[in-house]
Amino acid sequence: MRRNYDIFERFADGSSLWQAIAQGRFDAQRKIQELAEHSKNEFFAIDLTSHERLPTARPRKLVGQRACRDKRVA
C-alpha cells in the first residue's frame, strides 16, 4: 500500500502552507524537490495518518546567480 503524503511549504516566519499531495514516497520526494526548485522556502512531506515525515527540501541558492547577473550588467 502506497501512503499519501501531504506536502507543505515552510516560510521564513515559521508558518506552513499546504501545497500538494503525492502518493508514495518516491513521488512525494520528487514533488518536494520540484517545488523547491522554484522557491526560496523549504518544503516537507508528511503522512498525516502515520506521522511519517520525509526529509526537507532546502531552498535553492540564489545568491550566486544574482552575483553573476550583476557582474554582467556592470
Q: List the pLDDT tens digit at each of the 74 positions of the chain.
A: 789 999 999 999 999 999 999 999 999 999 999 999 999 999 999 999 999 998 887 766 654 444 444 444 44
Q: Check: CB of residue 54 under 8 Å from CB of residue 61.
A: no
Q: How far apart are CA 29 and CA 23, in angstroms?
A: 10
The three cell numbers locating residue 63: 545568491
Domain boundaries defined on the chain: 4-73
Exposure pattern of 41-55 as b/e (b: 16+ CB <10 Å)? bbbbbbeeeeeeebe
Full-model pTM: 0.74
The three cell numbers locating residue 61: 541558492
